[in-house]
Homo-oligomer: A and B are copies of this chain.
C-alpha cells in the first residue's frame, strides 16, 4: 500500500520550544519520522514523504509546501487503489499497530489522535479527501459519510499518541522502542512525577 507521510521541515514541533532548541526540534522530528518510516515498511507499506522542503531520506520524497490538507489531497486525487496517510510524529508506533491499520476492513479507516486529530487514515474509496483542521476526526467521519464510504475506527494508543507537547515526551520514554526514545534519553530527559500524570525533566 502507498503510504503518504507528511513532514514539516521548516519549523517542526513548535510546542516543544520550552524544552528543545530549534536544532533539537529538527533532530527529534527526524528521529520520529525515521521510526514511522521503518514501522510502515516493517508492516508491508511503501512510505512516501511529502516534505515542505527538500530533505535527505531513504524513502521517496516529494516537496510540497502547500497547506497539509491540500498537499495530501493532491496525492489522493491521482492515486490508484487504496492509499494511507500517516503522520510523522508517532514516536511510539510499532509495526503491529500499522499492520492493524492496513488489515482492518472499511472504505475509510481512521486512527484518532489525542485531542481530536486523525493520526492515520486508509482510504479505499475514490472520493474520500482529508481535512486536517481542528477536530479532524469529526470532519473525517463526516466526509466519509458524505461520499458514502463506510468507516472503521482503529483503537490504538500507539497510533493515537503523536508527540507535540513536553508531557508527550513521557509517553516516548515509557513506550518508545526506536530511534526517537534513544534520542530523548541521550538528551538527558527522564520521567518526573507532576501531580497525577508523569511528565519529564532534564
Residues of chain A in range 127-170 having any CB-CB distance to chain B below 8 Å: 134-135, 137-138, 155-160, 164, 167, 170
Give the complex CA separation of A199 and B116 in angstroms.
Answer: 9
Which residues of B sit under 8 angstroms from A15, Cβ to Cβ?
195-196
Chain B, Cβ-Cβ closest to A96: B155
Chain B, Cβ-Cβ closest to A198: B116
Cross-chain contact B155 with A117 (CB below 8 angstroms): no
**Chain B nearest CB: distance from A101 CB in Å?**
11
Cross-chain contact A164 with B115 (CB below 8 angstroms): no
Given A138-B174, A174-B135, A197 and B160 touching (CB < 8 A)?
no
Which residues of B sit under 8 angstroms from A112, Cβ to Cβ?
157, 174-175
Known: A135-B193, A155-B158, A157-B159. 13 other contacts (CB 8 A): A94-B155, A96-B155, A114-B171, A115-B171, A115-B198, A115-B199, A116-B174, A116-B197, A138-B191, A155-B157, A157-B157, A157-B160, A160-B160
